[in-house]
Structure 1
């Protein structure tokens, strides 16, 4: 008898789930479940609640719809985050590409660089670092700038060394005649970053770059002939900037960052 009464009480509790204000679908604005309702719900096990929902199709449909909506929102949030990361990466890559293009132009004007010059360029290519050049990101960019310029010098010397070897063995021309218009080939990597139309109209700047290549070639040639023991890379870096420091190097990108720098002030 007692067992039967307990079972009846349990069934009554399930039947009484309806007045617990889970959600009243009849109302225009169903109330949000309050804390006391949650406490009441926790007194029922999963089977009891599932049994109640199964007997009320409207609640079941609503639960399914809510679940799908939450999954959609979660997926959308994840997609937006992924797109944001991709866009940020593209922006970083674009900024660094611009930085390296401007360094190619810097080499045409100046080989003896310093952190002041690098900071001026970085501030323009990475505006978010303009007032925070102490950050690790800026330090890493300065390091990369130094490595790039060193690499440019190495390739420049390597090209002139090959030309000097050929000149020693086969040519009776003067260095000026031997170089001729090949100075453009020697500086081809850097001239690719320049605005061709504007540069071709600047004959004096072309003349200065040609003279720079000729003087650099003479230094390498003397070293190869053992007439000098000084490292050509250091000699060129330390003595020939005066020839090109004031030339115009309009960038093909149109940003003209290096072109607008007052390098004479920055290297003092």
Structure 2
């Protein structure tokens, strides 16, 4: 079902429909608690949308923000007490989302190099994890100062990796380095 930005319009449309369906029956009154719950749901979706936008912005500023930054974001958006169950739930979710963002960035950075690779076999043999670690370390090095020698020293992370090709020939993986 499509999400509605104006639940009050949906309520009114349902009332109008109910009146047209049974003209001889009494008008159905909307329970005020239902209307309030609907408005609260609308507000919650707005806050969730705001949180999602802000967590993305935080990620762009810092790939691994300190807990204090995430806690500040939560208290400013949701107005939760810092140690409440709700705040703890949003904090855990925020950390998962940031991890997902980091993984997406890492995989996109590797994408052009992985076009000739059998991804299923790559994941099964554990090489993808090592490649992700490698890319993260490269980002750390290049963030402060581009140092090609420091990047080259990261070969120890990936030199023993098996990278299965889509063709199944695995030529590059079989080369002794």
Q: What is the CA distance between 1:234 and its match in structure 2?
A: 4.3
Which residue, 142, 146, 151 being the options, matches 2:91?
A: 142
Distance 1:123 1:238 in 2: 29
Q: Deviations over 1:144-172 (max 9, x none)?
A: 10011011011111111112346x9xxxx
**Structure 2 segments unaligned to the other structure (5+ residues):** 1-25, 117-126, 146-177
Which residue, 81, 93, 99 being the options, matches 2:51?
A: 99
Equivalenced residues, count: 108
Distance 2:39 2:144 in 1: 42
> Could you say if the C-alpha distance between residues 87 and 229 of structure 1 is closer, same or farther in structure 2, counting changes exceeding 3 Å?
closer
Matches within 5 A, 1:179-258: 231-232=133-134, 234-235=136-137, 242=144
Could you say which structure has the larger radius of gyration? 1
Residue in 1 aligned with 2:33? 81
Residue in 2 aligned with 1:119? 71
Runs (4+) of structure 1 exceeding 3 A deviation are 236-243
- Computed over aligned residues only, the root mean square deviation of the Cα atoms, in angstroms, reads 3.2
- Contact conserved, 2:106 with 2:132, CA < 8 A, in 1? no
Distance 2:109 2:56 in 1: 18
Q: What is the CA distance between 1:96 and its match in structure 2?
A: 1.2
- Contact conserved, 2:64 with 2:98, CA < 8 A, in 1? no
Q: Deviations over 1:69-103 (max 9, x none)?
A: xx99xx75x61100111111111111111111111
Point out which structure has higher relative CO (alpha carbons under 8 A, 6+ apart): 1
Distance 1:236 1:117 in 2: 24
Distance 1:165 1:133 in 2: 42
- Contact conserved, 1:111 with 1:237, CA < 8 A, in 2? no
Higher helix share goes to which structure?
A: 1
Residue in 2 aligned with 1:37? none
